[in-house]
Each structure stands twice: as structure tokens, then as C-alpha cells.
Amino acid sequence: MAEYRIPFNKPCLTGSELLYAAKAIILGHSAGDGSFSKNCHTLLERELAVSKVLLTTSCTHALEMAAMLLELGPGDEVIVPSYAFVSTVNPFILRGAKPVFADIRSDTMNIDERLIEPLITERTRAIVPLHYAGVACEMDDILEIARRHKIAIVEDNAHGLYACYRGRYLGTFGEVAAQSFHETKNITCGEGGALIVNDARLISRAEILRDKGTNRKQFLRGEVDKYTWVDIGSSYPMSDILAAFLLAQLEKRVEILNKRRAIWNYYDRHLGGWAQDHGVQQPTVPGHCEQSYHMYYLVLPSCEVRQQLIEHLKERSILSVFHYTALHASSMGLQFGARPDQCPVASQISDRLLRLPFYNDLTEEDLKLIVTSIREFKMALRPASTAGSLYALNAATGTSASAAIAAAEPVTSAR
């Protein structure tokens, strides 16, 4: 893979990761739920003011636990945004549930809360709001819909740790929520996640599902005199070596957030005039949302222009990437009965959104180079294609333009 002067992502250490990981190894408890895991649990539970946090091997696995906890199965339907990662939906399909794809808002890229209710049937069991880029979905409306129809909410908060909606932390709204600590996330340990259990009635079963379907946790607390197989389950605890790495990062969360805020603000300020002049959309962060500064993206006028900008930046050794391909129009989405034209905004954004390099240690010099390079991009000379021509392209080829580009340029997509 090509080396870039400015890569898209670079995992950044904060200082104590190696020391803590070494301690975890020396302490001799490298399996899950050792002292470092417990410290992560306590820190997150205290800060987010939630009943239970359980570290997991990934956000994907936390979502699998969510699907089991809600006892989803064949015949059940789950409403998911089409513009999402595969892990937002796969955990529910693994239980036999059917995904029902909702389109997104063209400002925040979040599930469009106005489109949820028409998708609800007597089979709907859950809504999965994904807080894209760590900017909250419209949770007041979504909570009200869920309450009225007695449907559960599972938050996919992979991007949004420490972001808020009307002053309340994301991940605290749904019955359960899932976090990611994958190396691309703000706070990381390489691979990892967490399940937040907000509904206290689900806590003891969550512990059991996470521990191979056994009541081992209750046994360790002295609540039962032996431990045994009591339910379905799998093996989801994070190794304490990774939890040690994670604790080092969690302890530096304020520093990490400050660095990311500065990077996001730099992009937003310095690209503002250029974006306006060229019909490029910058991110929207509603006033009642405090974001997590997870990513900075631009929505280009067309798929072709996006690809040209990717190439232009590559020539300057800068890697920018596109993001999700709309799930409803994927081969799996179609197998579940989705129509290719079901979520037009998701299709558009899938073709036009570009993510700029974003990691904690991006320097001002790097940022200057990225911004200058973008401003040098001669968009006026490019085909003035529009959303309309993009659809024409898709219709003519019968495929998504972004999928075609993804096939040609595998390194330009990232999660």
C-alpha cells in the first residue's frame, strides 16, 4: 500500500499505553475483566452516569449482544439508517431479524426521524439510530416514536463517545448502546468496544450473554454457589491487556478531544469560503448537539468531482477517503427486499461524501498543506455534473458509481 505524507488515519498514543499494557501482562491477568477492565468500566459508568458498561471485543460484538438481549428473531423487523456501517445491521440479521432501511437527513447524515414512523409495522421491534460523525440523531423525536409504539432503541454510538444531545451524553438514550474503540476511533485500543446497558432489567442477562451463556459473574460475586450454563451466549470480554491500553487513552480524553476540536475547527474555518464558492457542503452541527469531533467531511457536487479531488490530494501525498456505501442498495440489502431507489439521500451521500485526514497528531503544518491543496483544486474546470447526472450515471450503469470506484481504488475507503 502506498505511503502518504499525510495518511487518512494514524493511531496516536497518549503516553501510558505501553506502561499500562506491560503492567497488565506482569500482573498475570490478561484475560477479560481484570483490574484495568474494571477501571475502564468504573470510569465510563461514572462519567456517563449509566448503570452498566461492559467492555467487549468490538462495537460489532456489543451490537450482537444488543440483538440477543432484545430477543430478536425471525419475523422481527429492525429500522436502520441506510447510510451506515455493515455492523449497524449485521448483528440483527445474525439473529434472523429483517432490516428495514430508512433514509437519512441531508444535513447531519443521520437517520431522518421524519421517515421512521411510516416504516413501523406490527413486527417492528427496534430502531437503531447511528450518531454519524458523533453528531446526535434527533433523539427527542426518536424516543417519542419508540415510546408510542413500544419499540426498543439501540444506539450505534461508535463515533460519538462524549458527544451530547441537549446536554445528555449519547449512548444514554437507548435501552442499550454500543461504543467502538477500533483504531480509527477517537479513543482506541486497536480493536474493542463496549455495551452500555441503560435498562437495569437487562444487566444481569447482558453479563451472562457476554460470558458464554454462564452465570460466572454471579458466581464470582458470591451470589450463586457454582456457575453453570444458563442461557445462549458467546465470548465477548476484552482482554485486560487491551483494556490497559484503553484506560491510558480514556484518562487523556480531555486532551484528545481538545486536539480533535482544534483540527475540526481549522478545517471548518479555512475551507468555509472555498466550500461556499464551489457548492461544497460542510458538516452541520445543530446548536443543541455537542459533537465528538470524530471526523471532518465534505459533500462534493458529484461522484466524479469527489474522485478527482481524491486523486488531486493523492498527487500531493494526502489520503482522503469516501465512506459508507448505502446499505439498502448493496447486494445484501436488496436480498432483504430493499428497492435500489428506496433511500435517495443515502445514495447521494454515499457517492459524494469525502472524509479528510483526521487524527490527534495532525499538525498545523499538515492542516495548512491539506487546506491549501484543496483550495488549489480546480473544480471550475471539472465537469459541472450535478446530483441529477449522478443518478443518470447510476441508472445507466445499473451500479452505484461509488461501488465502481471502490473496486478500482480499494485504499480510498475507510470505516
Ligand X SMILES: Cc1ncc(COP(=O)(O)O)c(C=O)c1O
Closer Cβ to ligand X, 305 or 327, answer by number: 327
Instruction: From 280, 265, 255, select the one nearest 361 (Cα to Cα).
Output: 255
Our finding on whether 415 is near ligand X (CB under 6 A) is yes
CB of 301 to ligand X, least distance (A): 25
Q: Which residue pairs from 201-207 have beta carbons closer than 8 angstroms and sit at least 24 positions apart in sequence? A: 202/69, 202/175, 202/176, 203/51, 203/52, 205/69, 205/231, 206/52, 206/54, 206/65, 206/69, 206/176, 207/54
Instruction: From 225, 157, 220, select the one nearest 187 (Cα to Cα).
Output: 157
Our finding on whether 64 is near ligand X (CB under 6 A) is no
Cβ contact 213:219 at 8 Å: no
The span of 80-88, 239-247, 248-256, 355-363 binding ligand X (CB under 6 A) equals 80-88
Among 8, 36, 83, 85, binds ligand X (CB under 6 A): 85
> Is the four-CA dihedral 233, 59, 189, 247 of positive or negative sign?
negative
The span of 161-169, 179-187, 221-229, 262-270 binding ligand X (CB under 6 A) equals 179-187
Closer Cβ to ligand X, 158 or 197, answer by number: 158
| Gap between the Cα atoms of 90 and 24, Å rounded | 33
Our finding on whether 182 is near ligand X (CB under 6 A) is yes
> Is the four-CA dihedral 90, 92, 97, 99 of positive or negative sign?
negative
Total of residues contacting ligand X (CB under 6 A): 16
The span of 79-87, 97-105, 107-115, 301-309 binding ligand X (CB under 6 A) equals 79-87
The span of 56-64, 107-115, 252-260, 335-343 binding ligand X (CB under 6 A) equals 56-64
Q: Which amino acid is at 357?
A: P
The span of 83-91, 258-266, 290-298, 340-348 binding ligand X (CB under 6 A) equals 83-91
CB of 158 to ligand X, least distance (A): 3
Our finding on whether 180 is near ligand X (CB under 6 A) is yes
| Gap between the Cα atoms of 119 and 337, Å rounded | 13
CB of 386 to ligand X, least distance (A): 29
CB of 247 to ligand X, least distance (A): 17
End-to-end Cα separation, the chain, in angstroms: 17
Reduce the secondary structure of 246-300 to three states and give it as a string: HHHHHHCHHHHHHHHHHHHHHHHHHHHHHHHHCCCECCCCCCCEECCCCCCEEEC
Our finding on whether 36 is near ligand X (CB under 6 A) is no
Q: Which three cell numbers stand for residue 329?
A: 442498495
Closer Cβ to ligand X, 216 or 260, answer by number: 260
CB of 61 to ligand X, least distance (A): 7
CB of 27 to ligand X, least distance (A): 25
Binding mask 99-138 for ligand X (x = CB under 6 A): -------------------------------x--------
Our finding on whether 158 is near ligand X (CB under 6 A) is yes
DSSP line for 213-244: TB-HHHHHTTSSSS--B-S---B-PPBHHHHH
Among 33, 77, 156, 290, binds ligand X (CB under 6 A): 156
Among 34, 81, 193, 237, binds ligand X (CB under 6 A): 193
CB of 160 to ligand X, least distance (A): 9
| Gap between the Cα atoms of 140 and 286, Å rounded | 14
Our finding on whether 60 is near ligand X (CB under 6 A) is yes
Cβ contact 172:198 at 8 Å: yes
Our finding on whether 58 is near ligand X (CB under 6 A) is yes
Closer Cβ to ligand X, 60 or 360, answer by number: 60
CB of 22 to ligand X, least distance (A): 24
Closer Cβ to ligand X, 181 or 267, answer by number: 181
| Percent of the chain that is helix, strand, coil (3-state, to 5) | 45, 15, 40
Q: Which three cell numbers stand for residue 15?
A: 503516553
Instruction: From 292, 311, 296, select the one nearest 382 (Cα to Cα).
Output: 311
Among 82, 87, 110, 291, binds ligand X (CB under 6 A): 87
To the nearest 10°, the Cα dihedral for 173, 178, 179, 184?
-130
Residues near ligand X (CB under 6 A): 58-60, 84-85, 87-88, 130, 156, 158-159, 180, 182, 184, 193, 415
